[in-house]
Amino acid sequence: MQGSRPARIGEEIRQELADLLSREVRDPGIGFVTVTHVKVSADLQVARAYYTTLGDETARRTTAKALERAKPFLRQRIAARIGLRRAPELAFQFDESIAREERIESLLQEIQAAPKAAPGDGEAPAAPKPADPRPAGDGRLDPGRRPGSGDE
């Protein structure tokens, strides 16, 4: 489990990376990049930055190469801005979770938009719900009834 200091440092690095990528990095290979989150190791030596970008697979590869080229510059600037004794090594990784969320959302929309088949249209009707094996009532004991005095 990650402590609060690595999480705090990760959030600071995320903010600084977002600012640096949008204002100071002039590499044309870096398109519209969003840094989604940064995980910092417990010893603060490695910071893994997760990002997303607009475009297809080619744009994604171009952005990954540009981020690798910009890594030394970004690390130097982050060290100066955050004030850590030793700046963490940066590692960039494309964030697949956004694409998965979009895929799930599209599947849910397809299911919702699909016409409902009426029973008798070739589909088997839904099975009836099984009866509840518990006795009727809410299952609590009657406080006015003594144990052993059954309704014979």
pLDDT tens, residue by residue, 110-149:
888 887 655 555 555 566 666 655 555 555 555 566 666 5
- Evaluate if residue 1 carries a pLDDT over 50: no
- Evaluate if residue 51 carries a pLDDT over 90: yes
HEC profile of the chain:
CCCHHHHHHHHHHHHHHHHHHHHCCCCCCCCCEEEEEEEECCCCCEEEEEEEECCCHHHHHHHHHHHHHHHHHHHHHHHHHHCCCCCCEEEEEECCHHHHHHHHHHHHHHHHHCCCCCCCCCCCCCCCCCCCCCCCCCCCCCCCCCCCCCCC
Domains and CATH numbers, the chain: 4-96 (3.30.300.20)
